[in-house]
């Protein structure tokens, strides 16, 4: 296994009043072939991506990966969320995060609650996005089939077959994205990546290798 470097830091986003905490991994050589931004759900944080080895896996695959703690969650609790949790955030939020961290074009991994941030960004700034990996995100019903059909970004839709609520609802909307493939993880629930990290990492790295 190749060596990786994992560091921590903060990034200031104007709308949040306080900095956002993040964890970053990159190949030890510092030469990365792409940038990956990892978001998280309401009960989670960047720490989950560290603990299940996603940050390390991505760096070993030659990527620079940044897992941020979203506003009011994890170690970003003092940062103010731009809207109430569950509402659509301004697309400018992730735009600013990615610009400050010099991460464009970026692969965005977006589970659950983070759909409130990632979907507006996807629909308004697709030129900044190299690929999109939604994992049963919320807010998919807030856009029309026509809006989804206008997105040309490569998409990997992932959800657990035991996630009968958000998994199926989000898929019914996201399948309108024209350039998508789907991974349904067997015997996995809503945070399917936690239930089966090996399948998650293989599916993710196989997809990144096609970009």
Question: Is 110 designated active site?
Answer: no
Q: Are 25 and 56 in contact (CB under 8 A)?
A: yes
Candidate list 112, 114, 170, 203, residue with the active-site label: 112
Question: Is 163 designated active site?
Answer: yes
Question: Is 112 designated active site?
Answer: yes
Handedness of CA 202, 203, 205, 206 (dihedral sign): positive
Cα 138–Cα 103–Cα 126 angle in degrees, nearest 5: 55
Candidate list 110, 163, 180, 201, residue with the active-site label: 163
Candidate list 45, 118, 180, 190, residue with the active-site label: 190
Whether residue 105 is preceded by a cis peptide bond, meaning omega within 30 degrees of 0, is yes
Q: How far is CA 66 from CA 38, 117, 148, in A?
A: 6, 16, 26
**Catalytically annotated residues:** 112, 163, 190
């Amino acid at each position: 296994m190749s060596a990786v470097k994992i560091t921590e830091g903060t990034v200031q986003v104007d709308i949040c009043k306080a900095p956002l905490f993040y964890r970053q991994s990159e190949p030890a050589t510092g030469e990365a072939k792409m940038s990956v931004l990892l978001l998280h759900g309401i009960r989670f944080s960047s720490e989950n991506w560290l603990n299940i080895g996603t940050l390390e896996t991505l760096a070993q695959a030659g990527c620079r990966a940044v897992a941020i703690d979203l506003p009011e969650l994890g170690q970003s609790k003092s940062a103010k969320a731009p809207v109430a949790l569950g509402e659509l955030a301004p697309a400018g939020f992730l735009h600013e995060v990615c610009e400050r961290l010099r991460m464009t074009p970026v692969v965005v991994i977006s589970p659950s609650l983070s759909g409130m941030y990632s979907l507006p960004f996807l629909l308004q700034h697709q030129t900044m996005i190299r690929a999109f990996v939604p994992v049963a995100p919320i807010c998919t019903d807030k856009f029309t089939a026509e809006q989804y059909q206008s997105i040309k970004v490569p998409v990997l839709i992932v959800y657990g077959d035991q996630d009968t609520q958000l998994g199926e609802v989000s898929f019914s909307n996201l399948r309108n994205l024209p350039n998508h493939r789907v991974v349904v993880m067997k015997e996995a629930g809503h945070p399917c990546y936690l239930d089966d990290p090996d399948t998650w990492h293989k599916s993710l790295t196989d997809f990144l290798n096609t970009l």
